[in-house]
């Protein structure tokens, strides 16, 4: 029988552009090495999966506040350091272009092409008032149990 695939799991908790980049760079690297890779998006990390255009949704007051105040997509995220009211992300995107590196939306696209398993945490979606219509189409929805199932067999498990 063939050897089992190695597993890499990442909890993406952070809503920062740089941290999400690190998560997706590791995930894409692991997928290229034929690991089975899962990124479990929870809390502010869910914003990486938001799409800017979506149907109008009925929301309560706090849910509207969160939706308005959180970054509206991966491309809109700020930096964990040196954000400078939005200048930091512009600087980073400029150097990414200059060095022919990949932007966060490109890294996410690549992860999908490599069959990285993108999961949105349903419990924190509820808390932040995010609905499936606001998130990308080809992702999965699950809770902490599904994450633990993967992670307990994982070779590399990270919380970012």
Where on the chain is the footprint of a second copy (CB under 8 A)? Answer: 6, 8, 11, 13-15, 18-19, 22, 25-26, 29-30, 33, 35, 42-44, 62-63, 65-66, 69-70, 80-82, 91-92, 94-96, 98-99, 101, 123, 126-129, 144-145, 147-148, 151-160
Q: How far is CA 138 from CA 3, 6, 50, 111, in A?
A: 29, 23, 12, 12
DSSP secondary structure letter of residue 142:
E
Q: Which is nearer to a second copy, 81 or 112 (CB)?
A: 81
- Give backbone dihedrals phi and psi of 121, rounded to 5 degrees, phi first: -75, 115
Which residues 6+ apart lie within 8 Å of 96 measured at CB? 102, 103
Among residues 53 and 99, whose Cβ is nearest to a second copy?
Answer: 99
Distance of closest approach, residue 138 Cβ to a second copy, in angstroms: 24
Phi, psi angles (nearest 5°) of residue 138:
-100, 55
Nearer to a second copy, 3 or 53 (CB): 3
């Amino acid at each position: 029988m063939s050897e089992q695939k190695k597993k890499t799991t990442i909890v993406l908790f952070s809503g920062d552009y740089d941290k999400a980049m690190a998560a997706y760079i590791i995930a894409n690297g692991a997928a290229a090495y034929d690991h089975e890779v899962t990124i479990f998006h929870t809390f502010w990390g869910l914003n990486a999966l938001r799409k800017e255009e979506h149907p109008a949704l009925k929301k309560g007051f706090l849910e509207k506040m969160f939706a308005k105040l959180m970054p509206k997509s991966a491309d809109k995220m700020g930096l964990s350091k040196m954000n400078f009211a939005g200048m930091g992300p512009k600087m980073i995107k400029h150097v990414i272009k200059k060095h022919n590196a990949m932007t966060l939306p490109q890294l996410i696209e690549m992860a999908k092409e490599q069959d990285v398993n993108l999961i949105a945490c349903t419990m924190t979606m509820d808390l932040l008032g995010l609905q499936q219509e606001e998130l990308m189409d080809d992702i999965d929805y699950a809770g902490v149990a599904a994450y633990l199932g993967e992670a307990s067999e994982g070779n590399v498990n990270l919380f970012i």
